[in-house]
């Protein structure tokens, strides 16, 4: 009798734990949803930007927290998203859905060749190589003034939505109303998608690569392929976050998107929405911070600095 009831008790405990794990994100999503009703317009716009950072960080967590690859150049994908929004709105293409699709296409296209080079390395070498690509883009944005606007950047107009007519609303009403809830729905959708990815065989194999690359290879895991997939997915989340972060600012310039690396610890923390944002982020990327030391230290875990796969 004891033997037959043990699996049932284990399943019940697992279900209860799963429900508790989902309760906090659900509560945080509810708080974000009602935030425009309880906060002033300034704080709502800060929350708007915080949702963009949350999306970008979900992608970065897949690359770092699950795959074990610390990218110091993730800001380049936020820059790609921001400048895509700037270029398209300056040419009178203001449809928000179209801007997101074009940004995703460009971000994935850029991520593939960069990823193919970077995933050959691990630990601090991967981090510094991604940082080098980020600084290369940073220099490009500054030097090619006629293409990028240099340090002045490119103006970003408030985008339009397919489902809503925003012609009768001013900029503040759009950012704190229809566009806010559109971004909120996008955050919920992308969070659910990320949860599905990390709970699938993809997430399991990424964790296996993170824990022990050589054992994963012995089990038949194609390490390079899965690292590249994680890199591209992180880039897609990054460009989506870049588009969203740049819209309230109304400007795509080198100092804003490239500041994402320090923005993880400073820019987001300056917003009044910090508790909600960071609680949501921690719930989704709980494995993010405790991997820092193992990724940067060459000797922890005994794994090679350069991938042999």
Highest mean pLDDT of the ranges 52-66, 208-222, 273-287: 52-66
Q: Are 259 and 267 in contact (CB under 8 A)?
A: yes
φ, ψ of residue 257 to 5 degrees: the values are -70, -35
**Stretch 19-34: mean pLDDT, rounded?**
78
Please determine, for residue 303, whether its predicted confidence score (pLDDT) is greater than 60. Answer: no
Q: Are 296 and 70 in contact (CB under 8 A)?
A: yes
Query: C-alpha distances in angstroms, 77 versus 69, 73, 122, 267, 283?
Result: 16, 8, 20, 17, 24
**Which two structure tokens, joined as six digits, stand for 157?**
């107009």
Query: C-alpha distances in angstroms, 179 versus 6, 105, 123, 172, 298?
Result: 50, 22, 39, 10, 45
Give the residue, 49 or 305, on which the prediction is more confident: 49
pLDDT > 70: percent of the chain: 76
Mean pLDDT of the chain: 76
Task: Report the SS3 class of residue 116.
Answer: helix
Q: How far is CA 187 from the centre of its chain?
A: 10
Give tens-digit pLDDT for 251-282: 887 776 544 444 443 333 333 333 334 434 44
Confidence of residue 299 (pLDDT cuts 50, 70, 90): very low
For the packed helices 178-199 and 41-61, what is the interaxial angle rounded to 10 degrees? 20
Confidence of residue 187 (pLDDT cuts 50, 70, 90): very high
b vs e for 19-39, b when ≥16 Cβ sit within 10 Å of the residue's Cβ?
eeeeeebeebeebbeebbeeb
**Which two structure tokens, joined as six digits, stand for 22?**
């989902």
Report the chain's terminal Cα–Cα distance, integer Å.
50
Distance CA 75, CA 78 (A): 5
Please determine, for residue 285, whether its predicted confidence score (pLDDT) is greater than 50. Answer: no
**Stretch 244-251: mean pLDDT, rounded?**
87
Q: How far is CA 98 from the centre of its chain?
A: 19
Distance CA 237, CA 303 (A): 28
Q: Are 75 and 258 in contact (CB under 8 A)?
A: yes
Confidence of residue 55 (pLDDT cuts 50, 70, 90): very high
**Which two structure tokens, joined as six digits, stand for 98?**
């179209």
Please determine, for residue 233, whether its predicted confidence score (pLDDT) is greater than 80. Answer: yes
Please determine, for residue 222, whether its predicted confidence score (pLDDT) is greater than 70. Answer: yes
Distance CA 287, CA 66 (A): 8
Least confident of 100-109, 119-128, 276-285: 276-285
pLDDT score for 32: 84
pLDDT score for 98: 92
pLDDT score for 18: 60
Distance CA 109, CA 106 (A): 5
Give the angle subtended at the CA of 195 by the CAs of 161 and 62, to the nearest 5°. Answer: 95
pLDDT score for 11: 54
């Amino acid at each position: 009798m004891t033997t037959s009831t043990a699996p049932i008790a284990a399943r019940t405990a697992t279900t209860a734990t799963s429900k508790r794990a989902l309760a906090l994100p659900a509560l945080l999503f509810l708080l974000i949803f009602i935030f425009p009703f309880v906060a002033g317009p300034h704080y709502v716009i800060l929350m708007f930007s915080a949702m963009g950072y949350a999306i970008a960080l979900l992608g970065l967590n897949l690359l770092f927290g699950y795959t074990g690859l610390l990218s110091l150049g993730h800001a380049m994908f936020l820059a790609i998203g921001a400048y895509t929004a700037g270029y398209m709105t300056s040419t009178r293409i203001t449809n928000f859905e179209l801007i997101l699709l074009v940004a995703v296409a460009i971000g994935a296209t850029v991520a593939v060749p960069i990823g193919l080079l970077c995933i050959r390395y691990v630990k601090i070498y991967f981090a510094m190589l991604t940082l080098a690509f980020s600084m290369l883009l940073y220099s490009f944005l500054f030097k090619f003034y006629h293409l990028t606007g240099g340090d002045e950047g490119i103006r970003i107009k408030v985008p339009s939505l397919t489902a809503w007519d925003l012609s009768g609303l001013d900029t503040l009403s759009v950012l704190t109303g229809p566009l806010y809830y559109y971004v909120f729905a996008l955050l919920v959708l992308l969070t659910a998608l990320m949860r599905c990815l990390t709970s699938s065989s993809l997430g399991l194999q990424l964790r296996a690569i993170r824990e022990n690359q050589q054992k994963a290879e012995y089990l038949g895991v194609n390490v390079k392929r899965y690292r590249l997939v994680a890199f591209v997915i992180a880039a897609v989340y990054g460009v989506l976050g870049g588009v969203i972060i740049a819209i309230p600012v109304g400007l795509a310039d080198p100092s804003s998107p490239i500041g994402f690396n320090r923005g993880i610890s400073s820019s987001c923390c300056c917003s009044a929405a910090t508790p909600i944002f960071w609680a949501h982020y921690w719930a989704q990327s709980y494995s993010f911070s405790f991997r820092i030391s193992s990724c940067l230290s060459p000797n922890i875990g005994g794994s090679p600095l350069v991938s042999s796969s």
